[in-house]
């Protein structure tokens, strides 16, 4: 009989759910190789995905299908997918009171500067999205490679926190 790895459900939270959390959702769904199902949401969603987030994803050949700006209320409601992990990717959401998540998922803060807040010429704004993409990509690659089945909760929490405390996450997480 074949041993089937569990599917872990991961929610990335931000305030507007238009850039960082959207990038993280797409990245983990890509790098998760079927072990993870990523979602994103916001405490005060803008209602639209930032066009530069979509542009960066398309330039890197990531799927943008199904990406939309939505409220975290969708994931706290009955019938929502059971969450194993919840990560905040911006400072604002990290200091807000989150809904009660059924099943008490593991949580960590992986703050990333908001590329949508950068003002300037198009090349500067696009560079901010590239930078956010790379930081999130590095962190998510480390997270996706963790031996989740062999880590106890304390060690796992330490690793999740360490991933979020470094600029590029490196390989030392």
Known active-site residue 98: yes
Tokens encoding 154:
């304390």
Local structure of 12: helix, strand or coil: strand
**Residue in 80, 98, 126, 156 annotated catalytic:** 98
**Residue in 38, 86, 90, 116 annotated catalytic:** 90
Known active-site residue 56: no
**Residue in 10, 14, 24, 94 annotated catalytic:** 14
Rounded Cα–Cα distance for residues 171 and 173 (Å): 6
Known active-site residue 25: no
Tokens encoding 53:
């987030």
Long-range contacts of 155-162 (CB under 8 A, 24+ apart): 156/106, 157/106, 157/108, 160/85, 160/87, 160/106, 160/107, 160/108, 161/108, 161/109
Give the catalytic positions in this structure. Answer: 14, 90, 98
């Amino acid at each position: 009989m074949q041993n089937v790895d569990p599917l872990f459900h991961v929610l990335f939270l931000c305030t507007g759910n238009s850039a960082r959390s959207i990038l993280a959702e797409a990245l983990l769904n890509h790098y998760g190789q079927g072990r993870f199902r990523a979602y994103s949401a916001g405490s005060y969603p803008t209602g639209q995905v930032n066009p530069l987030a979509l542009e960066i994803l398309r330039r890197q050949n990531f799927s943008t299908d199904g990406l939309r700006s939505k409220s975290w209320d969708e994931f706290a409601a009955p019938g929502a997918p059971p969450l194993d992990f919840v990560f905040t990717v911006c400072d604002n959401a990290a200091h807000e009171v989150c809904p009660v998540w059924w099943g008490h998922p593991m949580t960590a803060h992986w703050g990333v500067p908001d590329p949508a807040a950068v003002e300037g010429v198009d090349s500067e704004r696009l560079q901010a999205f590239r930078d956010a993409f790379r930081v999130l990509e590095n962190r998510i690659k480390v997270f996706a490679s963790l031996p989740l089945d062999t880590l106890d909760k304390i060690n796992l929490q330490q690793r999740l926190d360490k991933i979020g405390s470094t600029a590029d996450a490196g390989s030392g997480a």
